[in-house]
């Protein structure tokens, strides 16, 4: 018997929203997922236009997220959505997620999960009480060679970790785009909509999550500095920090949105006592391995490369030399979610979930506390069993 297809709904992602189209394209690429409903914009014309673009019937294009949940609840169980993608500004993530969980609908949400650790803990309690699954859209965790790097660290191929370096420079906010009316810059610079952190919340959390995922180690304490370089901007646009992990590795994390000329240059380097690894998001199909006593080698993505680990191979769609990138990485997360809904425990375990959400929120709050403090180090609290 064929597996049931996932019925996807979306809140946000209307005209002018970059990430909504990415989610829709990635879900289609993943396979087994059909977009059947949406509330894409508060603007009625934009909402209707996006619904038409997606080929949805007018009755499944709702005026608000509340109307979407109410309308879907009136449908037969086999027709209503069973997965909701939330791609709105940050302040709506927690209330929409909570309402969907209470309705028994699985949630795939853009990060951050909420605007505070307290809100994230409330979501965790709701998840424990119900049967809904939760995923956080840390897209970079969908890249095959990120999993290859993680596998090689776990296998001891670079030895005991000593030094971790992760950086995420962008240049798109080098000018005052919010002052020029750019909608994406406007909401990201508004603390009421974006939350407590600017750059640190928007892309610093990606760097943080990536370094913890690949290294398999948790950051225990950090020393952070935030800066706002564009006059009139309410939130940080640049951050830098030192950190140490629970296992004793030392590290550096840099994130900035005012590095003029940079595009999306996320990069991670890990060094152990037997060698090092390096992966760059702008060249995602290459993983550099630097053994201590051998020549450097470059591992390349490709479905016909048997020397890659199983976790990497199952996320590769094409033979070597056929580039895969950001859409495919997001599609891998959707594919994992579809398999998790179908009852696959390994797929559910592969998803960034509420534990990742809690760590990311704790990271933002710890960075802000460190920046405001005169103390050299600020501890990053470990999560409790509620996220397990």
pLDDT band at 15 (very low <50, low <70, confident <90, very high): confident
CATH classification of the domain holding 38: 3.40.50.720
Q: Do the domain assignments include residue 50?
A: yes
Q: What is the pLDDT of residue 381?
A: 83
Q: Is 157 helix (H, G, I), strand (E, B) or coil?
A: coil
Say if residue 386's pLDDT is above 60: no
For the chain, percent of residues with pLDDT exceeding 70: 98
The values of phi and psi at residue 89, to 5°, are -55, 155
Q: Do the domain assignments include residue 191?
A: no
Mind listing the pLDDT tens digit for each residue in 120-143? 999 999 999 999 999 999 999 999
Other Cβ atoms closer than 10 A to 140: 23
Say if residue 244's pLDDT is above 80: yes
CA nearest 188: which of 124, 94, 85, 110?
110
pLDDT band at 1 (very low <50, low <70, confident <90, very high): very low
CA nearest 109: which of 23, 195, 207, 199?
23
The values of phi and psi at residue 12, to 5°, are 90, -175
> Quick one: average pLDDT of 27-52?
97
pLDDT band at 3 (very low <50, low <70, confident <90, very high): low
| Residue 17: domain span | 6-139
| Mean pLDDT over the full length of the chain | 95
Q: How far is 9 from 70, CA to CA, in rounded Å?
A: 13
Q: What is the pLDDT of residue 387?
A: 42
Q: How far is 200 from 170, CA to CA, in rounded Å?
A: 12
Mind listing the pLDDT tens digit for each residue in 131-183? 999 999 999 999 999 999 999 999 999 999 999 999 999 999 999 999 999 98
Task: Tally the domains of the chain.
Answer: 1
Q: Do the domain assignments include residue 70?
A: yes
Q: How far is 172 from 185, CA to CA, in rounded Å?
A: 9
Say if residue 2's pLDDT is above 90: no
Q: Do the domain assignments include residue 212?
A: no
Mind listing the pLDDT tens digit for each residue in 319-332? 999 999 999 999 99
Q: What is the pLDDT of residue 383?
A: 56
Q: Do the domain assignments include residue 27?
A: yes
Residue burial 76-101, b: 16+ Cβ < 10 Å; e: rest: eeeebbbbbbbbbbbbbbbebbbbbb
Mind listing the pLDDT tens digit for each residue in 295-304? 999 999 999 8
Q: Do the domain assignments include residue 114?
A: yes
Q: Do the domain assignments include residue 135?
A: yes
Q: Do the domain assignments include residue 51?
A: yes
In the structure encoding, which two tokens stand for residue 286, read together? Answer: 């290459």
Say if residue 385's pLDDT is above 80: no
- pTM for the full model? 0.95
> Quick one: average pLDDT of 74-97?
97
> Quick one: average pLDDT of 345-356?
96
Question: Cis omega before residue 81 (within 30°)?
Answer: no
Q: Is 89 helix (H, G, I), strand (E, B) or coil?
A: coil
């Amino acid at each position: 018997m064929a597996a049931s297809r996932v019925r996807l709904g979306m809140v946000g992602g209307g005209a002018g929203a970059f990430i909504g189209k990415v989610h829709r394209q990635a879900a289609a690429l993943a396979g087994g997922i059909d977009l059947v409903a949406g509330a894409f914009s508060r603007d009625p014309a934009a909402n209707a236009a996006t619904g038409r673009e997606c080929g949805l019937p007018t009755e499944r294009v709702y005026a608000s997220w509340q109307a979407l949940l109410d309308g879907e609840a009136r449908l037969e169980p086999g027709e209503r959505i069973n997965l909701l993608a939330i791609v709105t500004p940050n302040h709506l993530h927690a209330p929409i997620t909570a309402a969907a969980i209470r309705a028994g609908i699985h949630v795939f949400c853009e990060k951050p999960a909420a605007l505070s650790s307290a809100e994230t803990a409330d979501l965790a309690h709701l998840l424990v009480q119900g049967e809904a699954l939760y995923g956080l859209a840390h897209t970079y965790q969908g890249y095959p060679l990120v999993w290859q790097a993680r596998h090689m660290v776990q296998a001891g191929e670079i030895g005991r970790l000593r030094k971790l370096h992760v950086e995420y420079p962008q240049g798109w906010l080098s000018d005052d785009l919010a002052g020029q009316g750019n909608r994406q810059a406007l909401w990201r610079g508004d603390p009421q909509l974006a939350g407590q952190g600017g750059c640190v919340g928007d892309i610093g959390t990606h760097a943080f999550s990536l370094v913890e995922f690949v290294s398999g180690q948790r950051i225990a304490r950090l020393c952070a500095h935030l800066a706002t370089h564009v006059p009139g901007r309410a939130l940080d646009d640049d951050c830098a920090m030192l950190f140490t992990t629970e296992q004793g590795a030392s590290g550096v994390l840099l994130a900035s949105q005012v590095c003029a000329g940079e595009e999306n240059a996320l990069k991670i380097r890990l060094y152990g006592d037997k060698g090092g690894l390096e992966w760059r998001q702008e060249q995602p199909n290459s993983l550099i391995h630097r053994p201590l006593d051998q020549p450097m080698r470059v591992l390349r993505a490709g479905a016909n490369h048997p020397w890659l680990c199983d976790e990497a191979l199952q996320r590769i769609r094409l033979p070597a030399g056929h580039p895969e990138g950001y859409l495919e990485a997001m599609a891998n997360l959707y594919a994992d979610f579809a398999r998790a809904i179908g009852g696959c425990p390994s797929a559910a375990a592969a998803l960034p979930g509420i534990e990742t959400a809690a760590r990311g929120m704790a990271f933002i709050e710890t960075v802000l506390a460190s920046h405001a403090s005169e103390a050299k180090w600020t501890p990053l609290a470990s999560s409790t069993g509620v996220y397990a």
